[in-house]
Amino acid sequence: MPIIVNLDVMLARRKMRSKELAERVGITEANLSLLKNGRVKGVRFGTLEAICAALQCQPGDILEYRPEPADGADEATIGKTTAGGDDG
Amino acid sequence: MNPDEQPRTAAAQRIARRSRDLARLATVLVPLVPVGVAWVWIRFEQFAPVLTATAGVVADPARVTPLVRFGGFGLNMVPGAIAMYGFWRLRRLFGLFAAGQYFSAEAIRCVRGFGLAALAYGVAAPVARLLITLLVTFSNPPGERLLLIRISSDDLAILFLGGAFYVIAWVWTRAKEISDENAQIV
């Protein structure tokens, strides 16, 4: 899945437990766990807004785009391409 | 709770209330079918004039022996049992709606089951009518025995209803897929 959810990282930075975040956001712990593990089909803007408000962060702090490697390419090559790609 | 959820909760409560009412009604209808059919055959003398007026069938109650009445009850209960099964599926369906399970696999099976029951009833009822008229007039003098083939608008309406519910079950299956996908959006 190209969209990576870095919720664990933000929870650790804010020293907040998943249960507390789930309560603040208004979703179940089970759904929060699915979200953390990237096993959901999507996130509503309302949920994203509530997460950002609770964790005092931006959407980019918890969502990351990491393209899947094409056939024959490896992740190291993609990382190099992404890091040095935009010189203009 | 955010304001967007309040109307959905009120709608869900309304659905649950009406569904419970309909489930209770369907529960009552199930045993009423055999009781009603039995009553007609026990009190055949009362209904014989209706049979003559509506279907032109002259059935002498004196010739309609207990064995004939039992046979008539049995024939009537073929579509009757199908109707009982249909009401039972509706009872289960409205029970699921009352529990908030609108698009479950079981709900789809109930819709499909009711559709099949209605289709089967639409075929069985005219056949039962045909056999019943033959049965009750069999003891009549020659020339007064009847074989009645009658397909009424009610039969056609039931067949249409059954087909419609069967197609709705297909649509409901698609609705379940959408519902399942939505459940994976947090």
Cβ of A40 within 8 Å of Cβ of B181? The answer is no
What does the alpha-carbon distance between residue B145 and residue B113 come to, in Å, rounded to a whole number? 38
Cβ of B186 within 8 Å of Cβ of A26? The answer is no
**Model confidence pLDDT, tens digit, residues B68-77:** 999 999 999 9
Phi, psi of A64 (to 5 degrees): -135, 140
List the end-to-end C-alpha distance of chain B, in Å, as a whole number: 15
Predicted confidence band of residue B155 (pLDDT cuts 50, 70, 90): very high
pLDDT at B14: 95
| CA dihedral over B153, B113, B83, B135, signed as positive or negative | positive
pLDDT at B57: 66
Structural element, H or E, at residue B177? helix B153-183
Q: At what angle do helices B66-98 and B105-137 cross, to 10 degrees?
A: 170
Mean pLDDT of A67-86: 55
Whether B147 and chain A come into contact, CB under 8 Å, resolves to: no
Which of A10-19, A61-70, B114-123 bottoms out in mean pLDDT, i.e. has the lowest? A61-70
The length of chain B in residues reads 186
Q: What's the ipTM?
A: 0.70
Classify residue A57 as exposed, middle or buried by CB count within 10 Å of its CB (0-12, 13-18, 19+): middle
Give CA B101 to chain center in angstroms.
23
Mean pLDDT of A27-55: 94
What one-character-per-residue DSSP string does B109-162 give?
A: HHHHHHHHHHHHHHHHHHHHHHHHHHHHHTTSPTT---------HHHHHHHHHH
pLDDT at B3: 38
Better pLDDT: B109 or B48: B109
Mean pLDDT of A27-45: 93
- Select from A41, A48, A49 the residue whose CB has the most chain B CBs within 10 Å, as the one to mutate to test that interface: A41
**Model confidence pLDDT, tens digit, residues B122-133:** 999 999 999 988
* Chain A residues within 8 A of B186 when measuring between CB atoms: 27, 31-32, 34-35, 40, 42-44, 47
Cβ of A40 within 8 Å of Cβ of B186? The answer is yes
CB pairs under 8 A between A and B: 22
B124-163 per-residue burial string, b: 16 or more CB within 10 A, e: under 16: bbbebbbbbbebbbeeeeeeeebebeeeeeebeebbebbe
pLDDT > 70: percent of chain B: 92
